[in-house]
Copies of this chain bind each other. A is one copy, B any other.
Amino acid sequence: MELRDKRIAILAPVAWRTPPRAYGAWETVASNVTEGLIARGFRNVTLFATKDSVTQARLVSFVERGYEEDKTQIPPVSTCLHISKALGMADEFDLIHSHFDYLPLTYARFIRTPMLTTIHGFSEPDILRIYREHKDTYYVSISDSDRDPELPYVATVYNGINLSNLTFREKAGDKLVFLGRIHPDKGTHLAIEVAKKSGRPLILAGIIQDRDYFERQVQPHVDGSSVQYIGAVGPVERNALFAQACATLHLNTIPERFGLVMAESMAAGVPVIAMDLGSCREVIADRQTGYLVSNVDEAVEAVRNIDRIDRTKCRRRVEENFTIDRMAERYEEVYAEIFRREAARGE
């Protein structure tokens, strides 16, 4: 059977619709993988997701709406019903590709179909107990840095983004931008410090995930001119935001797992100044599409030298590495490898 005729099940989470209306990173990737496979000519793709999901694939749903969008639902009731009923259909598929964290693995011993899990990050060290228990399944990491040394991985597959709402602009704006959750992990306070020391205006965009942090370390600096906070932004506003930017500040304080916003920024031609933690050095090319820094002073220096970055290289880096089609192509290779191993195992 040809690879693209294989029956592929994509298991999305059910916290949000797939793709999500706004926030929902795992659902976004599950959607991009599904649609990317279809676009590459896969003929037998089934998406397991909430009933209000939107896809070109066959949609199978056991949960009406995302539990984050319907507070009458008890999350483990919805998640475990969704996983249980989806995996109850395992025999109808050649491969189950899960984007749903660790819980589906606890059902893996009961099915015969091979299961591939894209590990979107280890939210807590304790969840490794489950990953390490299921080494006989297949794992993909989303960056080389976000790997547990004890786990066997088939490959790293970088996330792919939709370029349609990211206009490349050769001409730099004069502002610095920060895009992401307002949370200490994302270093919003460091972005403010860099902007002040650089004498450049800063625009902050993103949901407030840590209200206390926002009120203490962010809001006091927001004056509407040197530091502006514009709330969460959708694709259109994000595009407009990048149009004003000379650089994106991504001064994360913990290792980044992948960092979609870095790819989005480069797609718009905006170089990224990123803390050298986790995946940042895989997503940006140091001194080519931005700067890797270790502290605020280095970031200020990077802002000073931002014009040395060729913005067309930023766009090209995304086109070559971080598009939906590139991601789907990589998954196609991973699937082929899994089927090779399964065939060898069966011999």
Contact = CB atoms under 8 A, between A and B. Distances in A.
A182 B87 CA distance: 42
Nearest to A84: B106
Contacts of A77: 102, 126-127, 129-130
Interface stretch (A107-115, A142-150, A295-303): A107-115
Interface residues of A, number: 24
Contacts of A130: 77, 80-81
Nearest to A127: B77
Interface string A53-89: 0000000000000000000111011001101100110
B74 A126 contact: yes
Nearest to A123: B74
A127 B106 CA distance: 20
A124 interface: yes
A109 B127 contact: no
A88 B110 contact: yes
B81 A126 contact: no
Given A74-B124, A103-B76, A124-B74, A81 B129 contact: yes
A133 interface: yes
A83 B130 CA distance: 12
Given A88-B109, A103-B76, A110-B110, A81 B133 contact: yes
A32 to B, nearest CB: 27
Interface string A84-128: 100110000000000000110011011100000000000010110
A76 B102 CA distance: 10
Contacts of A74: 124, 126-127
Contact of A110 (B80, B107, B126, B127): B107
Given A77-B130, A81-B106, A87-B110, 13 more contacts: A72-B126, A73-B126, A74-B124, A76-B76, A77-B102, A77-B129, A80-B103, A80-B106, A81-B133, A83-B106, A88-B109, A110-B110, A110-B111
